[in-house]
A and B are shown apart, each in its own frame.
Chain A
Amino acid sequence: MNNAISYTDPSIFCYAILAVALPLFAALINFCLPVKSKAAGWISTLAILVGCVLSAMVFAAVWNQQPQHVQTLWFTIGTTKVFAGILLNNLSVMMLLLVSLIALPVHIYSTAYMKHDDRYSRYFTYLSFFCFSMLGLVVVDSLVLFYAFWELVGFSSYLLIGFWFTKDKAVQANKKAFIMNRIGDIGLLSAIIIIFAKFHTFDIATLFINDNLVFKSVIHDGLWISASGQIPAVWQYVACIGVFMAVAAKSAQFPLHTWLPDAMEGPTSVSALIHAATMVAAGVFLLGRVYPLFTDSELTILGVIGCFTAFMAATIALTQNDLKRVLAYSTISQLGYMILAMGVGAYGSSLFHLATHAFFKCLLFLVAGVVIHEMQHIKEENNLDIDPQNIQYMGGLRKKLPVTFIAAVVGSLALIGIPLTSGYLSKDGILIQAFEWSEGRSAWLKLIPAGALFTSWLTAFYVSRLIVKVFFGEFRLLKKHPEIKLHISDGGWQYRVPLILLAICSLFPLFSLNPFFYEKAWLFESLKPAEFMARENIYHTIIPIGVNILSVFVMYAAYAIYVKRNTFSFPQTGFLYRLSYNQWYLDKIYRKAIVKPILGLGKTCFWFDRNVIDGLIHLIERSSRMVAALTAWSDKHIVDGFLHLMAALVQSIGNFARKFQNGKVQYYLYSMLLIVLILFVLKILI
């Protein structure tokens, strides 16, 4: 099964395996430490630091080279051999490096952020475990292992969302997250099973890369045909739906996105790493892995959903007041862009956006963490009853938190996609390719690029609103409670270094020497599809200019509205406002339309079990008891009665006979005579 390896340097695999396994070891060590041990943080950080270096070495060795693949027999089931191994190609080494690169600043940040927590070492156990799962996910070569790590990622996210498990909201959020992810997992499992039944292998390299079995299969005449046999074509669609469900659950796409905003109940550093940068990108990564599975029309559907999600999440982000929620919805929206890009065939751009987004969104979350941390500090110091995440109370923090402010501005400019940032490069790539793709397609598909364009202006608005409300104007909490004392600052180096590091990574130089042309980015160039269109049409010029000019206007508008007017917010009326503020009522709909009926079904089943099935059993029991009673009665009265009757009969016959035996001679004679006479009479008569 080892195939297509042009050159093999075994040390590459050792490095990759080590990079994956180190966080696991760290997690195991931390698990054994006492819960408050401060050593845990450094153990985890060290593990991820070494892992990061190793990842970089692996990246350097494999990037733009032949895919590297090594595997070993894991187990045999029937005649199927299941292999375990690692597959290193451009996609996986990029993710490997990206994840460890993002995880490193988050770890450093966490050592300070979680400093006062009672279960400090647990936190790092979970965090390291997450890193292990995520790194494992990106390098494994078999769909079974992929699924395994896919779920472990969800599991570690469950642990981290519910890290403060005494908070009811947190545990409800982690339950919701896990169950929604489970829906996706079921889809992925079904897809894997279908692929296995069809191609008899779990090997990603064989399926999608080297032999590309999936790509070579065709749908013809209602059947899905390849060299390994055929099954009804409908199962190809089911497999795609399954993969889509998995993507939608993990990457928070409509309709399975509602867990992500709730997941913000976890520690902010966790949100930064897991629910912004890495885990949620796993869905996009999965799409990248199984891309050949999708047919053209299925990709279109994917694009539509991505576009819709991007738009919907952006509209919701407009009105949210919770700092982390805004960022969460913006994450959903950006993930929508990535899915959209996959759908329109902009494979390279999608992954490029994944990489850039990871940096700037992680940065924004860490910024949010600092802000929330300081607000919490104020709250505790002054015994206020406020929500430290509510942006209504913030304002004017740029003077108090200068480093944080600069990082926030860099991050948000990247998120909006202003030139000189990485976000500009990747997002404009997506927009341009979406417009190119819609050329020559039916008119309503033009809505996809149009929607994406519109969403990017919405993004500009809500991001500006956020930044303006948090950092500009005056401190609204102070206005409300003038007596409070403020002792806030950017915090120690564990806060500053990650912020600065990530802010630098959010600018263009990391990705391209040319700050304006996305197709010159080295990352994109290596991932782009072979038939990529060169810069030849008008979109390449018009779109970046149009988007950015309007974005700047929008940003100014936001600044004008929120700083100049400096009111708490817009008038909160109108249907559209409520729709946005209540997150399109999806949570309520789900609760009413899905959760309740399922619980009802459970109750009905139990009722059925108790009353119908058990009722039947009891009925059988009762009826057999009745039969028994009946037989007992008949035994007593009929069977015994017959016996008694016989006895009585015999007795009466005897009694009758003994009357002739009364000892009186005359009587005997008399009877004799009588009998003789009767005989005579009979003789005569007959």
Chain B
Amino acid sequence: MITLTDFLLVGALLFCTGIYMIVSKRNSIQVLIGIELMLNAAILNLVAFGKYDKLNNGGQVFALFAIVLAAATTAVALAIILNVYRRYKTIDPDEIKNLRD
């Protein structure tokens, strides 16, 4: 039988993969994918914990809500990346240092 722990493990694995991608990839798209992975890890956890709310299925509802939001943010993020590319001719996050003081 698949237990809650297994779901959480998979979620953690996904989350770590996501983080790794975020901090190490040289391409903003890949970073964005990492972010999606982390989101999905979170959604997986929501669904897994949903078993404690069988009456309202709050977990699944939140998951759906999060998926919708994720899609929206991804769209915005892609738009930003596009703009960044237009301005800097690169989407390597190491090259973009304008946040520096």
Partner of A662, one of B19, B22, B23, B100: B100
B100 near A661: Cβ-Cβ < 8 Å: yes
Let me know if A663 and B23 touch, CB within 8 A.
no
Query: Per-position contact with B for A664-686: 1 when CB-CB < 8 Å, else 0?
Result: 11101110010000000000000
B23–A673 CB distance below 8 A: yes
> By DSSP majority rule, is chain A's interface helix, strand, loop, or mixed?
helix
Q: Residue B53 at the A interface, CB < 8 A?
A: no
Binds A, one of B44-52, B65-73, B89-97: B89-97
Q: Provide the B77-96 mask, 1 if CB < 8 A to any CB of A, else 0.
A: 00000000000000001101
Q: Is B2 an interface residue (CB 8 A)?
A: no
Residues of A within 8 Å of B22, CB to CB, are 666, 669
- Inter-chain contacts of A658 with B (CB < 8 A): 101
Question: Are B101 and A669 in contact, with the CB atoms below 8 A?
Answer: no
Contacts of A663 in B (CB 8 A): 96-101
User: Is A670 touching B23 in the complex (CB atoms < 8 A)?
Assistant: yes
Q: Bound complex: CA of A329 vs CA of B53, how far in Å?
A: 152
The CA-CA distance from A455 to B90 in the complex, in Å, is: 143
Shortest CB-to-CB span from B85 to chain A, Å, is 15
Cross-chain contact A664 with B31 (CB below 8 angstroms): no
Chain A residues lying within 8 Å of B94, measured Cβ to Cβ, are: 664, 666
Alpha-carbon separation in the docked complex, A664 to B28 (Å): 12
Contacts between chains A and B (CB distance < 8 A), count: 32
- Chain A stretch 46-90: residues in CB contact (< 8 A) with chain B: none
- Given contacts A664-B93, A664-B94, A669 and B23 within 8 Å (CB-CB): yes
How distant is A663 from chain B, measured CB to nearest CB, in Å? 3
Residues on A with beta carbons closer than 8 Å to the beta carbon of B23: 666, 669-670, 673
Contacts of B24 in A (CB 8 A): 666
Closest A residue, CB atoms, query B98: A663
| In the complex with contacts A669-B22, A669-B23, A673-B23, A664-B101 CB distance below 8 A | no
What is the bound-complex CA distance between A303 and B80, given in angstroms?
138
Please give, as numbers and ranges, the residues of chain A lying within 8 Å of B31 by CB-CB distance: 666
State A669–B31 Cα separation when bound (angstroms): 12
Chain A residues numbered 632-686 whose CB sits less than 8 Å from any CB in chain B: 658, 661-666, 668-670, 673
- Please, how many angstroms separate the alpha-carbon atoms of A663 and B92 in the complex? 13
CB distance from B52 to the nearest CB of A (A): 25
Is the CB–CB distance between A673 and B93 below 8 Å? no
Nearest A residue to B26, CB-CB: A666
A663 to B93 CA separation, bound complex (whole angstroms): 9
Q: Given that A673-B19, A673-B23 are contacting pairs, would A666 and B93 also be in contact in the complex, using a CB cutoff of 8 Å?
A: yes
Minimum distance in angstroms from B98 CB to a CB of chain A? 6
Q: Decide if B97 touches A664 in the complex (CB within 8 Å).
A: yes
Q: How far is the CA of A661 from the CA of B99 in the complex (A)?
A: 8
Q: How far is the CA of A673 from the CA of B22 in the complex (A)?
A: 11
Bound: A28/B29 CA distance, A: 132
CB of B77 to closest CB in A, whole Å = 12
Complex CA gap A670/B31 in Å reads 13
Smallest CB separation, B96 vs chain A (Å): 7
User: Across the interface, which residues of B come within 8 angstroms of A668, CB to CB?
Assistant: 99
List B residues 17-52 near A (Cβ within 8 Å): 19, 22-24, 31
Q: How far does the alpha carbon of A128 sit from the alpha carbon of B17 in the complex, in Å?
A: 137
Q: Which residues of A contact B101 (CB under 8 A)?
A: 658, 661, 663
What are the residues of chain B within 8 A of A662 when measuring CB–CB? 97, 100
Q: Which of A665, A669, A670, A673 contacts B99 (CB under 8 A)? A: A665
Q: How far is the CB of A668 from chain B (nearest CB, A)?
A: 8
Report Cα–Cα, A669/B99, bound state, in Å.
13
Q: How far, in angstroms, from A204 to B19 measured CA to CA in the complex?
A: 128
Q: Which residues of B contact A670 (CB under 8 A)?
A: 23
Bound-state Cα–Cα, A144 to B97, Å: 110
Name the A residues within 8 Å of B96 (CB-CB): 663-665
Shortest CB distance A674–B (Å): 10
CA distance A663 to B24 in the complex (A): 15
A672 to B, closest residue via Cβ: B23
* B94, closest chain A residue (CB): A664
Q: How far is the CA of A148 from the CA of B12 in the complex (A)?
A: 127
Complex CA gap A658/B101 in Å reads 8
Chain A nearest Cβ from B32, distance in angstroms:
12
Residue of A nearest to B28 (CB): A665
State the Cβ distance, B75 to closest chain A Cβ, in Å.
19
CB distance from B6 to the nearest CB of A (A): 23
Residues of B within 8 A of A665 (CB): 93, 96, 99
Distance, CA A665 to CA B99, complexed state (A): 8
Nearest Cβ on chain A to B89's Cβ, whole angstroms: 17
With CB as the reference atom, state the residue of chain B lying closest to A671: B23
Bound CA–CA A663/B23 (angstroms): 14
Q: Whole-angstrom distance between the alpha carbons of A670 and B93 in the complex?
A: 13
Q: State in angstroms the CA–CA spacing of A666 and B30 once bound together.
A: 12
Q: Which B residues are in CB contact (< 8 Å) with A661?
A: 100-101
Closest 4 CB pairs of A and B: A663-B100, A663-B97, A663-B99, A670-B23
Q: Please, could you name 22 A-B residue pairs with CB atoms under 8 Å apart, sorted by A? A: A658-B101, A661-B101, A662-B97, A662-B100, A663-B96, A663-B97, A663-B99, A663-B100, A663-B101, A664-B94, A664-B96, A664-B99, A665-B93, A665-B96, A665-B99, A666-B22, A666-B23, A666-B24, A668-B99, A669-B19, A669-B22, A673-B19
Could you list which residues of chain A lie within 8 angstroms of chain B, going by C-beta atoms? 658, 661-666, 668-670, 673
6 more contacts with CB within 8 A, not counting A665-B96, A666-B22, A666-B93, are A662-B100, A663-B96, A664-B97, A666-B23, A668-B99, A669-B23
